[in-house]
Amino acid sequence: MSVSSEMACKELEELVTEYLEGTLPPADQRRFGDHLDDCPYCVTYLDQMRQTIRTLGRLTEDDLSEDAKQDLFRIFRDWKKEPPNRQNRGA
């Protein structure tokens, strides 16, 4: 495999949703699989993502408290505003 066709862990993380949904282009599917063959950390990451999807897929809106819903809305709304390590934490 040439260096330009190798997939880095970061790229795999960015493509995992498309991979799991089956919408990843064939060339990227091969690169994704090749990376998994050589990276036990990303195999674990993929397994964790699958488990998360299975677990969360069973939840309904009624399973969450109002506070939890508001926290999730806030997190989703703000997730790209600032990197987590630079957020103002009241200090």
- Name the pTM for this structure: 0.62
The answer to whether residue 88 is domain-embedded is no
For residue range 16-51, list pLDDT tens digits in order. Answer: 999 999 999 999 999 999 999 999 999 999 999 999
Q: 49-74: buried (b, 16+ CB within 10 Å) or exposed (e) per residue?
A: eeeeeeeeeeeeeeeeeeeeeeeeee
The answer to whether residue 86 is domain-embedded is no
**Cα 39 to Cα 20, 27, 58, distances in angstroms:** 18, 18, 30
Structural domain that includes position 15: 3-80
Considering its fold, how many domains does the chain have in total?
1
The answer to whether residue 39 is domain-embedded is yes
- Please determine, for residue 56, whether its predicted confidence score (pLDDT) is greater than 70: yes
